[in-house]
Chains A and B, each alone.
Chain A
Amino acid sequence: MNIYWHCLAGIVQREWLRFVLQRSRFFSALVRPLLWLLVFAAGFRAALGIAIIAPYDTYITYETYIVPGLACMILLFNGMQGSLSMVYDREMGSMRVLLTSPLPRAFLLASKLLAIALISLLQVYAFLAIAWFYGVQPPAWGLLAALPALLLVALLLSALGLLLSNGIRQLENFAGVMNFVIFPLFFLSSALYPLWKMREASEWLYWLCALNPFSHAVELVRFALYQRLSLSALLICLGLTGLFAVLAVVTFNPQHAALRRAG
């Protein structure tokens, strides 16, 4: 048991160091959702309130609406950036050093996912703190209740990131991930607009959003922030996290980069 703990602590510490040393990464992770909150939402101007939808009990401003989506946006970018760092680790060979560990590969990868998730949570709470001072104030207990939801979503998205990184052969392909994964996941979700609004625009757009796993991640966090449980969102997030994690471990091939170089 001790050896597992030691290994996990080492991996978390490495992620932590990477996080501390790359301070710009922390700020860029914060600046992105803050720009959305302070600029996009301000331009959107729904000062007259948007219609009541669960889990809200009364009318809310657009700023209040998008905060859970933006918190998940941080997790999404970090999950994908985690996958970027996997590709980097593979190319630089540090992944192979990690895999020389006698512990099972699944454990190593799970530790890696958890490490990325924990670092992401710090950024999310930094963002929520700023949003609080900006006037978006969910109930205090809701902030605590959101912790497990955020952790699950972080794991879900970093498992997805890991799975994708298995398919990426080179660092340069990450731009493709941005275009074909992050943007569609984010924009075709309930992060920026309520789904009923999407339905008013078009039915197929609504279904794309409703089927998007990221929508369920956002709703899980949104409900938790207001001390409610969205059971369907929870089950979908749990199921997908398990599925992505298993697929990621099965398809994981540390030889990718090395083979390519040899060939």
Chain B
Amino acid sequence: MRIALLALGIGLTLASTASKAATAYVSNEKDDSISVINLDSLEITDTLAVGMRPRGLLLSSDHKLLYICASDSDRVQVMDLASRKIVKELPSGADPEQFALHPNDRWLYISNEDDALATVVDTQTDEVLAQIDVGVEPEGMAVSPDGKWAVNTSETTNMLHWIDTSTQQLVDNTLVDQRPRFVEFDPDGTRLWASAEIGGTVTVIDVASRQVLKTLSFQIKGVHPDKVQPVGVRLSADGKLAFVALGPANHVAVLDAKTYEILDYLLVGRRVWHMAFTPDQKRLLTTNGVSGDVSVIDVDSLKVSKSIKVGRYPWGVVVTP
């Protein structure tokens, strides 16, 4: 009897873990909404109304809160994922587009595209800690895993701006190719990857010396080079693979993150910009703005398994376990 109960208990535990599917949240820029995707069934389970023109998305480190850049509402909204309600709004400065959360889980570094500013907000006290002058049209933002650096890209100045988080001061700039859109640190924080949309390149920078290590370019058979416009970059947690979303080229480039060799180009939906791994790192989701869908890449086989229709102009994506 006891064994039977134990077996039942184990069975129930297994069933409950199995039923708790990873969930993706996708911001729909033109629909002012967030699509919720169940990653077991790969279906939309909910669509949540949020502020105007939602773009960048972020999760708190405990995955309980979702931060949303509501660009045309000029604020960052905070959604409690348990209730799926907006619980507060943060003073972000005008037109927030991309942002990054410091590992202390409090400081939010926000790009204010129209004001050539980066705003630092304390997510607990809701206070603006600093506003830092950066280049024209700031866009990409990343904080290093050790929390020492916040790096912001400016689309028109074509620079990366290095902000020392201990003083909230801009201390250095790195020139990259035209229209840098996105920056991403290596999992170990030694290198920084920056995409340049018009330049068509990704620049890899040594964080310690802030010197350029390598500039990567892409070429897809049958696709005009003008269409190759890198935006999103994601690195696998094991440090082996790098994925670069190539915008209107409709492909995601897969690279060996160590040798920089291009392993493959994967066909996804139209105008692919941003990406997110599932927590088990087995799948990578891409947002395809023009075709209005999210493609699912199987990371082991490097094949695109499915594309899921979401709202109009999906922009950012995050995944909770």
Contacts and interface: CB of A to CB of B under 8 A. Distances in A.
Interface string B208-230: 00000000000011110001000
B304 interface: yes
A59 B307 CA distance: 7
Contacts of A60: 267
Interface size class of B (residues with CB under 8 A): 10 to 19
Contacts of A61: 267
B313 to A, nearest CB: 17
Contacts, number: 40
Interface string B250-286: 1000000000000000011110000000000000000
A57 interface: yes
B68 interface: no
A219 B269 CA distance: 23
B305 interface: yes
A57 B250 contact: no
A48 B306 contact: no
Given A47-B220, A47-B221, A52 B307 contact: yes
A32 interface: no
A48 B307 contact: no
A59 B306 contact: no
Contact of B306 (A45, A47, A58): A58
Given A48-B249, A48-B250, A52-B307, A59 B222 contact: no
A120 to B, nearest CB: 30
Contacts of A45: 222
B295 A59 contact: yes
Nearest to B309: A52
Interface string A18-48: 0000000000000000000000000001011
Contacts of B268: 49, 58-59
A47 B223 contact: yes
Contact of A58 (B220, B223, B270, B305): B305
Contacts of A59: 250, 267-269, 291, 295, 304, 307
Given A48-B249, A48-B250, A48-B270, A57 B306 contact: yes
A58 B249 contact: no
Nearest to B221: A47
Given A49-B269, A58-B269, A59-B269, 17 more contacts: A45-B222, A47-B220, A47-B221, A47-B222, A47-B223, A48-B223, A48-B249, A48-B250, A49-B250, A52-B293, A52-B307, A58-B267, A58-B296, A58-B307, A59-B250, A59-B291, A60-B267
Interface of B: 220-223, 227, 249-250, 267-270, 291, 293, 295-296, 304-307
19 contacts: A47-B220, A47-B221, A47-B223, A47-B267, A49-B268, A49-B269, A52-B293, A52-B307, A58-B267, A58-B269, A58-B295, A58-B305, A58-B306, A58-B307, A59-B291, A59-B295, A59-B304, A60-B267, A61-B267
